[in-house]
Structure 1
Amino acid sequence: MRHLLITLALLFPILAMAAPRTVDWLDLLPEEDYQAMLDMPEISHDWGTEAPGDFSNSLRSSDRNLPEVMYSTRVVGEMDGQHIELGGYPVPLETDEQGRYISFFLVPYPGACIHVPPPPPNQIILVEYPSGLAIQDIYQPLLLTGTLQVAQTSNELADASYRMRADKVVSYPGG
């Protein structure tokens, strides 16, 4: 019996990694931000015209008239270190020698830097994907599996409150 318990204790971390926790973007919002989003007034979606293939527009909102929750960096601390599966849309950042994206932001809705206000930092994940991914269409949803970290990141394009090292990235089923 003792041998069985030791074997199970050694296998538990492996088994836990085998089945990622499926999360939704709302799971990344602390309760106060979730409620603020529910109470938020309608926001205009006329943020400019799309330049196909141009990912240089900023995910930072220059409109300081939006509700405070649209700038929130508050996080759900329990998400740190979780092995998760999450769907979203890419905002390409950095490529490898073959032109595959090894770094990108994942956001909850398409066109986040073009037609709609950018999501708040606690709804942006900086993704590192060493295997690389060809991104031809930012409107094609992706499904990512990896380990989520609570980590504030800032670059010229955006601020993000989460970071993920993706193990697997695929087109979202039915997307």
Structure 2
Amino acid sequence: MGMTNLNRRSILAALGALSVCPSAALAKDYIDLDWADLVPDGQQVIPPVIQGLIDHDGPALSSQQPASQGVRTDWNGKVVRLPGYVVPIDYSGTGITAFILVPFVGACVHVPPPPANQLVFVTTGVPYEGSGMFEAVNVIGMFGTASTSTQLADIAYALSADHIEPF
């Protein structure tokens, strides 16, 4: 669906190469990251202020976002894989073209957002046809620090997705 002949040929060629050289299937062209990798040393991944009960009748959740205590630049310009949950931001006719990747279900919508250094703004040229809000995915693509502000939260990182797959 929506796949060009060039993309089909590229995929078939890649699959053919993998069948000829099985070790190529095991090679990783990305760095596996975890959410703890995004916070500076000595910081908690999930601050205690958002680990407790949430007062949904209080101020807007975005106003309850804890301050970020810095970012890590170790992976700027690197291709990484990061698991997380999808909070859609922008749609096209066939899927999601921009979303916030969050470390836990409910972040930014049902509970206050995590600090900016625990959020990643993901964009993709090929719309992702996900199964809905808070789908668990792995995102592979070029990673870097990039301060972004949305109506839901401030975000410290960006990822240009080459590949998005269910987790």
**Residues 31, 136 of structure 1: alpha-carbon distance in 2 compared, 3 angstrom cutoff:** same
Which residue does the alignment assign to 2:166?
A: 171
Deviations for 1:100-156, whole angstroms, at most 9, x for unmatched residues? 110111000011133333111001100011101123422320011001011111122
Q: For 1:64-103, what aligned pairs fall within 5 Å after superposition?
A: 70-72=66-68, 74-96=70-92, 98-103=93-98
Counting aligned pairs with the same residue, the percent is 29
What is the letter of the counterpart of residue 125 of structure 2? P
TM-score after normalising by structure 2: 0.72
- How much is the aligned-residue C-alpha RMSD, in angstroms? 2.6
Q: For 1:105-124, what aligned pairs fall within 5 Å after superposition?
A: 105-124=100-119
**Residues 101, 19 of structure 1: alpha-carbon distance in 2 compared, 3 angstrom cutoff:** same
Deviations for 1:49-86, whole angstroms, at most 9, x for unmatched residues? 9xxxxxxxx762x237xxxxx32051011121121011
3-state SS, counterpart of residue 162 of structure 2:
strand
**Residues 59, 27 of structure 1: alpha-carbon distance in 2 compared, 3 angstrom cutoff:** farther
Indicate which of 30, 35, 38 corresponds to 1:28: 38
**Residues 19, 109 of structure 1: alpha-carbon distance in 2 compared, 3 angstrom cutoff:** same
What is the letter of the counterpart of residue 46 of structure 1? I
1: CA distance, partners of 2:29 / 2:118: 23
2: CA distance, partners of 1:39 / 1:124: 13
Unaligned runs of 5+ in 1: 1-16, 50-57, 65-69
3-state SS, counterpart of residue 140 of structure 2:
strand
Q: In 1, are the aligned partners of 2:39 and 2:118 still within 8 Å (CA)?
A: yes
Unaligned runs of 5+ in 2: 1-26
1: CA distance, partners of 2:165 / 2:80: 14
Q: In 1, are the aligned partners of 2:85 and 2:101 still within 8 Å (CA)?
A: yes
Which residue does the alignment assign to 2:12?
A: none
2: CA distance, partners of 1:59 / 1:134: 27
Which residue does the alignment assign to 1:67?
A: none
Which deviates more from structure 2 when the two are superposed, residues 99-108 or residues 135-144?
Answer: 135-144
What is the letter of the counterpart of residue 32 of structure 1? G
Which residue does the alignment assign to 2:140?
A: 145
**Residues 73, 103 of structure 1: alpha-carbon distance in 2 compared, 3 angstrom cutoff:** farther
